[in-house]
């Protein structure tokens, strides 16, 4: 949790609608400099209120995940990015790894902008536009918030053998990835509760305990511990876990 000394400037700058207005009407696009190149992103203004826009102005958008990704992901690692958003995190990952990034983004309102941003920044990617399901009988509620950043993805059960709202993958699908980056507003509860073998070398996870139905953040950390993961680093509500291969 953020202490009070961080909360005051954070909310004054990062969530201040006045600065959101400045960004929306005078700047319009998000630009991020990395390793000599400029990444640029179109913003889905229809799906963000003004208080979410200062993060783009002050370059604090996804700051916690960005800090950990730049520190812990290296060249040639293959990454699965669950929670694609506008494509910023996936673009940064690609610029670091120079490897194709597999992206999961379930909000159909931003898929077009996500695709456009990835192509604009010359990212090599595969995009999956449904939640990954670990069984053929699983489907999901996707609660689309006014702000796409605050969507929630929660499991529901169904008797349908071919749920339309999910992409079934078996456990072998994950074997090709070295790193999992997951920022998916509640989906992480389903994912870590149901993936029988967790074999990523590293996991970067942003916790969203307010969106969990049954577990706490500590419960998910306990699942990772049982699968031989050790916490390596953290930044606000995001953490890095590394697998101990004995």
- Computed over every residue of the chain, the mean pLDDT equals 90
Q: How far apart are CA 188 and CA 15, in angstroms?
A: 25
pTM: 0.92
State residue 12's pLDDT score. Answer: 75
Model confidence pLDDT, tens digit, residues 135-165: 887 888 787 777 777 777 877 655 455 445 7
Contact (CB, 8 A) for 139 and 158? yes
Segments in the chain below pLDDT 70: 1-8, 10, 156-164, 246
The answer to whether 109 and 47 are in contact (CB under 8 A) is: yes
């Amino acid at each position: 949790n953020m202490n009070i000394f961080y909360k005051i400037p954070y909310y004054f700058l990062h969530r201040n609608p006045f600065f959101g207005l400045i960004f929306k009407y005078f700047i319009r696009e998000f630009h991020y400099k990395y390793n000599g190149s400029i990444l640029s992103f179109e913003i889905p203004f229809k799906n963000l209120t003004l208080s979410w826009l200062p993060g783009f102005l002050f370059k604090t958008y996804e700051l916690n995940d960005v800090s950990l990704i730049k520190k812990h992901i290296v060249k040639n690692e293959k990454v699965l990015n669950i929670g694609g958003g506008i494509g910023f995190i996936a673009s940064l990952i690609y610029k670091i790894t120079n490897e194709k990034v597999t992206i999961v983004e379930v909000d159909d309102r931003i898929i077009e902008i996500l695709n456009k941003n990835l192509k604009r920044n010359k990212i090599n990617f595969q995009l999956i536009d449904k939640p990954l399901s670990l069984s053929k009988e699983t489907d999901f509620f996707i609660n689309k918030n006014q702000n796409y950043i605050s969507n929630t993805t929660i499991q529901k059960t169904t008797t349908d053998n071919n749920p339309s709202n999910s992409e079934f993958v078996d456990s072998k699908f994950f074997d090709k990835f070295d790193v999992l980056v997951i920022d998916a507003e509640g989906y992480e509860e389903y994912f870590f509760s149901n993936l029988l073998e967790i074999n990523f070398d590293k996991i970067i996870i942003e916790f969203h305990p307010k969106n969990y139905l049954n577990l706490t953040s500590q419960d998910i950390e306990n699942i990772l511990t049982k699968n031989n993961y050790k916490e390596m680093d953290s930044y606000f509500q995001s953490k890095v876990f590394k697998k101990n291969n004995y």
